[in-house]
Amino acid sequence: MSEIESLQKDVPSFDPPEEFVAGSAVSGRAAYDELCQRAAADPEGFWAWQAERLHWFRKWDKVLKWTPPFAQWFVGGQTNVAYNCLDRHLTTSRKDKAAIIWEGEPGDQRVYTYAMLHLEVCRFANGLKKLGIGRGDRVGLYMPMVPEAAIAMLACARIGATHSVVFGGFSADALRERMNDAKAKAIITADGGYRKGKPFPLKAQVDASLEGSTTVESVIVLRRTNEAVDMVAGRDHDWDDLVAGVSDYCPAEPLDSEHPLFILYTSGSTGKPKGVLHTTGGYLTQASMTCRWVFDLKDTDTYWCTADVGWVTGHSYVVFGPLAVGATTVMYEGVPNYPDAGRFWDIVDRHRVTIFYTAPTAIRAFMKWGDEWPAKHKLDSLRLLGTVGEPINPEAWLWYHRMIGHERCPIVDTWWQTETGGIMISPLPGAVATKPGSATLPLPGIDAAVVDRDGNEVGADEGGLLVIRKPWPGMLRTLWGDDERYRSTYWSDIENTYFAGDGARRDADGYFWIMGRVDDVVNVSGHRLGTAEVESALVSHPAVVEAAVIGRPDDLTGQALVAFVTLGPGFESGPEFGQELCAHVTKEIGAIAKPAEIRFTDALPKTRSGKIMRRLLREIATSRTVKGDTTTLEDQAALDSLAKQYDDG
């Protein structure tokens, strides 16, 4: 494979604000460099230092056992995630501090202190025990974004049951496939939840998913919407009835550091979903370290990660990471534009949120809805912003910096994956200067590089494969029940090196720029172009709020670039405007990146976590039909509309 060519131009750099540096967890570039040197000189000693911040019932005998590609961390150690997230705070001033601030989409609110959350987790854990659920059992969660979702996750962790959360928007078929693969003994669900102002059903989907199931013995149903649901005698249990009369205390099980904590299914391009397995001690070590250093979490912070617990971001940065460091974490049930497009900013102001972490897709939606919505709110409590999920284009970064951060909040642009368990590349906000669109530098202890197919590092501003060359504590241990698929998916491209599909480049300062998935690289007239850079060029036009670029076969150039573009309010699409956008791309990064075709659309097909499904766009542009897996698609109408464009010519 020839290197991916980078055509992106330089962008400005933003130093950490002096007032932020002074009180930050990692203060100044010299402190960051010292941590990196310490980790490079003694990797096992560095990670042991981080693990010692957790509570261990028994300390480990060996930090790392590495038999590529299989890792065991803190071998022989015993700990418990729920104990670290709850019990150890109860002897401190955090006992009566807010652990979770929750707001439902209709406007109802609840606050759980650490003591209250501990009580609810213990009671629900005892309820699970009543059903015969314990260490080693798998438990599915199919929940709305309510506190009970976090309570259920922590209760499973407390008794050693391995949980597998499935996002509440997935179909019954998708749920069945995941639960059958995990051989789940129970499913925890609700009658429904609220989304876009209306209740949506969950229990009925669970019932449909269990047709043909051979392992699920119990279904636990939370009453959220009070919609009528069918309850199967002997199998189904009301949440409140289950915990009625149980003890208020449940001891946290001392669990081996490598005990399976959760399985999270992530869909591939084709075939059955992959069950990413994360274990206990190493995962929590990395999740808690990154919360301290990347988000600079302090006892006075109110922290809001907008992800759903159905995704890994919700696991690591809504529930486990923030609670392990004793933070106050905000949970919100609904969509960001109900009852209007200012809902998120209203929540920030009312709850005095200090740290806000969301996806570039959401930021581009905020841009599309207009500056007037954030302008109606003070947003003066914010001190740090973050992005997660996919590369953020510089234009969206600068809007976020200006409109939400009021040009005073550092932005941590974080690169990581379901498989990595925690953040891998990100600026430390008090130590590393930021560049709009760049994830900047690897965290201390993370050996990231950009290499060619032979594993050799490429030069500055040459694109290649983004890899991790040494094991890290939060890494996935395998794919559930399929060690060979784990090996072939992540470790077969370059020997003993982790590669999960992203292309990147490093600039002259060593900063990482994520160029998108390698399967999103397009070969135009012998030039290998990362589509993320072309997308950034399109979005830099003031009319464009979102763009997705793919390649389709072309007899002359090998592949041709096709751009799918969403415009902001007040702009009219059409052939002439398409030509204007092509000229804009040519001006920004060169004629080689000029799209051969531009299609305008009101919405792009996305997963329920907000990622653009470029694979489906590629199928439409190439064959006019979609044959691949669409179980993670959020809005079928967006895909149908684009397909109709092609049918209409």
Whether the per-residue pLDDT at 524 is higher than 80: the answer is no
The pLDDT confidence band at residue 631, using thresholds 50, 70 and 90, is low
Tell me what the mean pLDDT of segment 251-272 comes to.
Answer: 86
Whether the per-residue pLDDT at 380 is higher than 50: the answer is yes
- Which one-letter DSSP state was computed for residue 253? P
237, 132 in Cβ contact below 8 A? no
The pLDDT confidence band at residue 606, using thresholds 50, 70 and 90, is confident
114-123, 453-462, 553-562, 591-600: segment of lowest average pLDDT: 553-562
Whether the per-residue pLDDT at 371 is higher than 80: the answer is yes
What pLDDT score was predicted for residue 639?
A: 77
What pLDDT score was predicted for residue 645?
A: 78
What pLDDT score was predicted for residue 265?
A: 93
> What are the helix (H) ranges across 168-243?
172-182, 203-209, 239-243
Whether the per-residue pLDDT at 269 is higher than 50: the answer is no
The pLDDT confidence band at residue 2, using thresholds 50, 70 and 90, is very low
Whether the per-residue pLDDT at 522 is higher than 80: the answer is no
What pLDDT score was predicted for residue 649?
A: 60
Whether the per-residue pLDDT at 87 is higher than 90: the answer is yes
- Structurally, at CATH architecture level, domain 525-647 sits in 2-Layer Sandwich (3.30)
What pLDDT score was predicted for residue 270?
A: 45
Whether the per-residue pLDDT at 533 is higher than 50: the answer is yes
What pLDDT score was predicted for residue 521?
A: 66
Say what the alpha-carbon torsion angle 200, 205, 207, 211 is, to the nearest 10 degrees.
170
Whether the per-residue pLDDT at 194 is higher than 80: the answer is yes
At 209-237, the pLDDT tens digits run 999 777 999 999 999 999 999 999 999 99
Cα 221 from chain centre: 27
Tell me what the mean pLDDT of segment 498-503 comes to.
Answer: 90
What pLDDT score was predicted for residue 6?
A: 59
Residues 6+ apart with CB under 8 A from 426: 290, 294, 412, 413, 414, 415, 416, 439, 440, 441, 443
What pLDDT score was predicted for residue 116?
A: 98
Question: What b-and-e string marks burial along 525-540, b requiring 16 or more CB atoms within 10 Å of the CB?
Answer: eebbbbbbbbbbbbbb
Residues 6+ apart with CB under 8 A from 30: none
What pLDDT score was predicted for residue 534?
A: 85
Whether the per-residue pLDDT at 548 is higher than 70: the answer is yes
The residue that leads in pLDDT, 272 or 130, is 130
What pLDDT score was predicted for residue 1?
A: 35
What pLDDT score was predicted for residue 527?
A: 62
145-154, 252-261, 306-315, 604-613: segment of lowest average pLDDT: 604-613
Percent of the chain predicted with pLDDT > 70: 94
Whether the per-residue pLDDT at 586 is higher than 50: the answer is yes
Whether the per-residue pLDDT at 160 is higher than 70: the answer is yes
What pLDDT score was predicted for residue 520?
A: 67
Tell me what the mean pLDDT of segment 587-603 comes to.
Answer: 85
- Residue 344: C-alpha distances to residues 348, 410, 467 (Å): 6, 19, 35
How far apart, in whole angstroms, are the C-alpha atoms of residue 165 and residue 261? 11
At 440-488, the pLDDT tens digits run 999 999 999 999 999 999 999 888 999 999 999 999 999 999 999 999 9
What pLDDT score was predicted for residue 636?
A: 77
For residue 595, give the nearest of 497, 644, 524, 526 by alpha carbon. Answer: 524
Whether the per-residue pLDDT at 58 is higher than 50: the answer is yes
At 399-425, the pLDDT tens digits run 999 999 999 999 999 999 999 999 999
544: tokens are: 């464009």
Give the DSSP per-residue string, 303-356. EEE---TTSHHHIIIIIIHHHHTT-EEEEE-S-TTSSSTTHHHHHHHHHT--EE
User: What average pLDDT does the chain have?
Assistant: 92
At 5-44, the pLDDT tens digits run 655 566 789 999 999 999 999 999 999 999 999 999 999 9
Half-sphere exposure at residue 337, Cβ-oriented, CA atoms within 13 angstroms: 10
- Among all chains, which residue has been given the structure tokens 């203060």? 27
Tell me what the mean pLDDT of segment 592-611 comes to.
Answer: 84
- Asked if omega into 201 is within 30° of 0 (cis), the reply is no
At 297-343, the pLDDT tens digits run 999 999 999 999 999 999 999 999 999 999 999 999 999 999 999 99
For residue 479, give the nearest of 263, 297, 647, 188 by alpha carbon. Answer: 263
329, 322 in Cβ contact below 8 A? yes
